[in-house]
């Protein structure tokens, strides 16, 4: 297994957190992992993305030019990365904010109303974790419980109050993706 994944959104949407959570889960599961964040000029409102490579084998390069999967939290991210996904790859996107029709027939699209799901959990800012759950359900790069365990082990103390709802966000994103 070798997955090259880009998480992208506006600063403050949690693209970097979702990617870092995947990286922690993969490390804890004994996989080879790279995680490279990239920030735009502003902390909130600018662009933020990260690349995560998860593999059973040593990783030759952390650079990702043609990802096997993209998680797009907003329309600019969808527009930027849709054309870069490898044929046969996956584009998981926040359909709460993206109404674009798919342009390609050689990749799989998984629309997830992540903002609405986050709102039902009491926090729209959990849309990122909803989308991570959807990604894991479709790619099977790691089992969902690996991400839940990573939340237990790595969620910062100041965010611990969101532990249960983050786990539920993962599960709801996965359930939605499997029913699309």
Q: Is the pLDDT of residue 82 over 80?
A: yes
**What's the pLDDT band for 98 if we cut at 50, 70, 90?**
very high
Q: Which CATH class is domain 2-178?
A: alpha beta
- As given in the structure block, the two tokens for residue 100 are 């674009």
At 45 the pLDDT is 61
Higher pLDDT, 153 or 11: 153
At 111 the pLDDT is 97
* Residue among 2, 110, 108 at smallest CA distance from 53: 2
At 162 the pLDDT is 86
At 43 the pLDDT is 54
CA distances from 93 to 97, 101, 157, 177 (A): 9, 12, 29, 11
At 134 the pLDDT is 98
Provide the angle, in degrees to the nearest 10, between the axes of the packed helices 163-178 and 144-154.
Answer: 160
At 140 the pLDDT is 75
Residues 6 or more apart whose CB falls under 8 angstroms from that of 61 comprise: none
Q: Is the pLDDT of residue 60 over 90?
A: no
- As given in the structure block, the two tokens for residue 152 are 């237990």
Other C-beta atoms lying within 10 Å of the C-beta of residue 154: 14
**What's the pLDDT band for 42 if we cut at 50, 70, 90?**
low
CA distances from 128 to 15, 16, 32, 55 (A): 6, 9, 23, 22
Give 114-162 pLDDT, tens digit per residue: 999 999 998 899 999 999 999 999 997 899 999 999 999 998 888 888 8
Q: What is the rounded CA–CA span in Å between residue 167 and residue 164? A: 5
Kindly report the average pLDDT of the chain as a whole number: 93
CA distances from 161 to 8, 97, 166, 176 (A): 25, 27, 9, 24
Domain ranges of the chain: 2-178
Task: With beta carbons less than 8 A apart as the criterion, state whether 173 and 114 touch.
Answer: yes
């Amino acid at each position: 297994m070798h997955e090259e994944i880009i998480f992208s959104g506006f600063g403050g949407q949690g693209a970097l957190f979702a990617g870092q959570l995947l990286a922690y889960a993969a490390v804890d599961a004994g996989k080879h992992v790279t995680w490279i964040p990239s920030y735009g000029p502003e902390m909130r409102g600018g662009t933020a993305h990260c690349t995560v490579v998860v593999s059973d084998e040593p990783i030759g390069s952390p650079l990702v030019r043609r990802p096997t999967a993209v998680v797009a939290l907003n329309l600019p991210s969808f527009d930027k990365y849709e054309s870069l996904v490898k044929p046969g790859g996956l584009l998981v996107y926040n359909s709460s904010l993206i109404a674009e029709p798919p342009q390609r027939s050689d990749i799989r699209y998984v629309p997830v109303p992540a903002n609405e799901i986050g709102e039902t959990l009491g926090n729209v800012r959990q849309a990122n974790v909803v989308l991570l759950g959807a990604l894991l359900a479709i790619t099977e790069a790691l089992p969902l419980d690996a991400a839940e365990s990573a939340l237990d082990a790595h969620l910062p103390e100041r965010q611990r109050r969101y532990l249960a709802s983050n786990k539920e966000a993962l599960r709801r994103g996965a359930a939605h993706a499997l029913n699309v």
